[in-house]
Amino acid sequence: MKNTLDIGNNLSRKFLLSPRTIRLKTFFKRLFSNPVTLTGAIIIFVMVFVSAFAFLLSPYNPMELHISDRVQGPSLTYWLGTDEAGRDLLSNLLYAGRISLSAAVAAEAAGILFGLPFGLIAGFWRGKVDDVIMRFMDGLLAFPSVLLALTIVGLFGSSLRNLVLAIGITFMPVVARIVRASVIQERDKDYVLAASALGAPSWRIVVRHILPNSFAPLIVQISLGIAFAILLEASLSFLGLGVQPPRTSWGVLLAEGYGYITRTFSYVTFPGLFIFVTVWALNVLGDGIRDTLDPRLRGS
C-alpha cells in the first residue's frame, strides 16, 4: 500500500509540474548548492531590500541636520557616523543605494537595448552588414570604458539620465558581441533550417527561435555588467560627473568622505565597503550562473 502511494505521489508531481518548472527548480538547486554563490545571492537580496525599504529602515531622515555632531565616527547614536553636515551616514547610505543600484540596472538595460538588435542582425545576416556593425563596435571597444563615459557625460552634461545613457553605451559593444557569437552558433542548427524550410520570415526566426536560445551567455553578462556599472557610476560620481545634488549615491558619498579622511575613517570607509561588497556579490553570482549553465563546468 505504501509503495502504491509513493508511486502515485511521484506521478502526481511529474504531471503537475511543467518541464519548464522542473528545469528552473533544477537550475536554482544547482546554482545555490555552492555556498559562495548562495552568500552572494543573499548579500544582493539584502542590499536591494534595505535600499527599497530605506524609508522604513533608516534611523533618521537622510536630510536631517545635526550641526553639533558633524563628521562623527560610529557611536550608539549614529551607527556609522555622520557627514560634514551632521547627517546620519547609515541613513544616507541606505537611500544612496537606491540611486546606485537603480542606475546600474538601468544602464545595463540600456546596454542590452542598444546592443541586442545589432548583435542579432550581425550574427544572422553576416556579410557586409556584419562587417559594418562589428567594426563600429570594435571602434567603441577601442576606448577605455571610463574615458568613453567621461566623453559622453562631458558632451551632454552631468545628470542621472546622461550617466545611465553613457554607461549603457559603453556596454553596447560587449552585449552585441556576446549576442552575435550566440546567434552564429544557433543559426545553422536543425530547428532554424526547419523553420526556414517551412517559409518562416527571417525576423520571426530570429525573434521567436534564435533569440530565446541565445539568452544563456547574456544572463551571465547581466550580473557582471551591473557590477561594473556600479563601479563606473561610482567613478564618475567621485569625479563630480555623475549623480548631482540633491540626489546622492555611494560614489558621491565616497567623494565627499575623501575630503574628511583625516578626521574620521567611517565617512569614506563605509561607502567604499558598500560598493565592494555589492560588486563582489554580483561577480560571485555571475560566476555561479556561468558554471551552472555550462554543462562542462557542472560535471554533467
Residue 159's pLDDT is what? 83
Q: Cell 548548492 belongs to which residue?
A: 33
Res. 27: pLDDT tops 60: yes
Are 114 and 67 a contacting pair, CB within 8 Å? Answer: no
Are 275 and 234 a contacting pair, CB within 8 Å? Answer: yes
CA dihedral in degrees (120, 126, 128, 130; nearest 10)? Answer: 40
Residue 70 in any domain: the answer is: yes
Tens digit of pLDDT for each residue in 105-143? 999 999 999 999 999 999 888 888 889 999 999 988 888
Output the CA–CA distances (angstroms, integers) from residue 83 to 44, 58, 63, 202, 251, in the order listed. 26, 15, 11, 58, 14
Residue 217 in any domain: the answer is: yes
Tens digit of pLDDT for each residue in 50-63? 999 999 999 999 98
Residue 229's pLDDT is what? 93
In single-letter form, the type of residue at position 280 comes to W
Count of structural domains within the chain: 1
Residue 26 in any domain: the answer is: no
Residue 13's pLDDT is what? 45
Read off the pLDDT band of 294 (50, 70, 90): low
Res. 255: pLDDT tops 60: yes
Query: Averaged over 151-174, what is the pLDDT?
Result: 88
Read off the pLDDT band of 262 (50, 70, 90): confident
Which CATH number do you get for residue 172?
Answer: 1.10.3720.10
Lowest mean pLDDT among 16-25, 41-50, 90-99: 16-25
Residue 167 in any domain: the answer is: yes
Are 170 and 142 a contacting pair, CB within 8 Å? Answer: no
> What is the pTM (predicted TM-score) of this model?
0.85
Residue 20 in any domain: the answer is: no
Identify the domain containing residue 254 by its residue range: 34-298
Residue 296's pLDDT is what? 55
Q: At what angle do helices 266-293 and 89-125 cross, to 10 degrees?
A: 30
10 Å CB burial of residue 52 (0-12, 13-18, 19+) is middle
Residue 86 in any domain: the answer is: yes
Res. 14: pLDDT tops 50: no
Residue 5 in any domain: the answer is: no
Read off the pLDDT band of 18 (50, 70, 90): low
Residue 8 in any domain: the answer is: no
